[in-house]
């Protein structure tokens, strides 16, 4: 059953071409932006569809909201708001990060295993340092663990297989997956960590994933390289510092940290076996365009009464 034309609130500026795309997907829709809501505050209670965010105050006002399309993957900050928890609107996110994130995380991994970060430092010092080759590692024939075998994790796993690695995936609900040689549940993570050369975390922030790599897990890693591209809270930061110093974790590539950003003077900033990037692994040219395309596609589905793509599991937290 086709829905009637909705009132759509765009929280960011849309081009005339983008508005045309919206109207093709939802003929007759009324489109308002932040300036429109400021000019007529009463409109906020009539908003039925929103792209891409609402303020905490607006969540208490959008009584007619049926669906919010966000332009990112993580929604833990939204679900932590009482007004959002109490609101019946459907929330959808986007899954457009897999290629960029897998490239980024493997870039971190290969920098560490091939000591490329050390070579860059020595280059900037004007030094030809052949001792760098004494601390190299290889990945072919070794085991890769990917914790969080979703869209991003699968892409990371496929690259690992292309590099000749055995891949073990960790999922909350294990099931066979063509990207991995084996898939296990989170209760087996210490066992899997112990046999892996590279461990990639691409986990959302939920109660179950916080300190997923805690002190015991990190101590079990036997000189593995840890790469974290999900959420900083998946790793016990103090325990990671100790594990890096002790050698149970040989090196760490971190696109996310806890806290984020790390405070000035934190030990991780200066550790020679750590690479930190400022939480941009999922960003790529054309991101906004791709996210908007997801919204327009879902808008067409919403108008036709079809199931929306990438509906957030509020209970699961992602």
The two three-digit tokens of residue 189, written as one number: 């993570």
Of 231, 252, 230, which is closest to residue 241 (Cα–Cα)? 252
Catalytic pick among 279, 284, 301, 314 = 279
Identify the active-site residue in 87, 260, 309, 314: 260
Q: Would you call 136 exposed, middle or buried from its count of C-beta atoms within 10 A (0-12, 13-18, 19+)? A: exposed
**Catalytic residue status for 279:** yes
User: What are φ and ψ of residue 260, in 5° steps?
Assistant: -130, 120
CA–CA distance, 118 with 138 (Å, rounded to integer): 16
Q: How many CB atoms lie within 10 A of CB 176?
A: 8
Q: Which of 171, 189, 231, 250 is catalytic?
A: 231
Q: Is 260 a catalytic residue?
A: yes
ω before 227 within 30° of 0 (cis)? Answer: no
Q: Reply yes or no on whether 215 is catalytic.
A: no
What's the CA gap between 205 and 245, in Å, rounded?
26
Q: Which residues are catalytic?
A: 231, 260, 279
């Amino acid at each position: 059953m086709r829905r009637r034309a909705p009132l759509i609130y765009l929280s960011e500026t849309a081009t005339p071409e983008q508005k045309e795309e919206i109207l093709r997907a939802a003929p007759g829709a009324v489109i308002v932006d932040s300036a429109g809501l400021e000019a007529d505050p009463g409109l906020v209670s009539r908003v039925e569809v929103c792209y891409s965010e609402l303020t905490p105050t607006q969540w208490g006002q959008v009584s007619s909201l049926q669906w919010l399309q966000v332009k990112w993957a993580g929604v833990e900050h939204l679900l932590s708001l009482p007004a959002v928890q109490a609101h019946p609107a459907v929330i959808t996110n986007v899954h457009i990060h897999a290629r960029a994130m897998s490239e980024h995380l493997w870039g971190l991994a290969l920098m560490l295993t091939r000591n490329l970060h050390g070579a860059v430092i020595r280059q900037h010092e004007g030094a030809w340092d052949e001792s760098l080759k004494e601390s190299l590692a290889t990945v072919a024939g070794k085991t890769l663990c990917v914790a969080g075998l979703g869209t991003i994790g699968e892409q990371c796993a496929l690259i690992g297989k292309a590099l000749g690695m055995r891949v073990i995936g960790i999922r909350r609900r294990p099931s066979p997956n063509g990207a991995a040689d084996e898939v296990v549940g989170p209760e087996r993570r210490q066992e899997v960590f112990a046999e892996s050369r590279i461990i990639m975390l691409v986990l959302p922030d939920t109660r179950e994933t916080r300190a997923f790599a805690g002190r015991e897990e990190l101590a079990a890693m036997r000189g593995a390289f840890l790469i974290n591209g999900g959420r900083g809270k998946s790793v016990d930061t103090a325990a990671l510092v100790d594990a890096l110093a002790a050698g149970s974790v040989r090196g760490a590539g971190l696109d996310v940290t806890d806290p984020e950003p790390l405070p000035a003077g934190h030990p991780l900033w200066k550790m020679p076996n750590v690479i930190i990037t400022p939480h941009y692994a999922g960003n790529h040219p054309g991101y906004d365009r791709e996210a908007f395309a997801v919204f327009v596609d879902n808008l067409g589905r919403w108008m036709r009464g079809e199931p929306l793509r990438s509906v957030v599991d509020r209970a699961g937290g992602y």
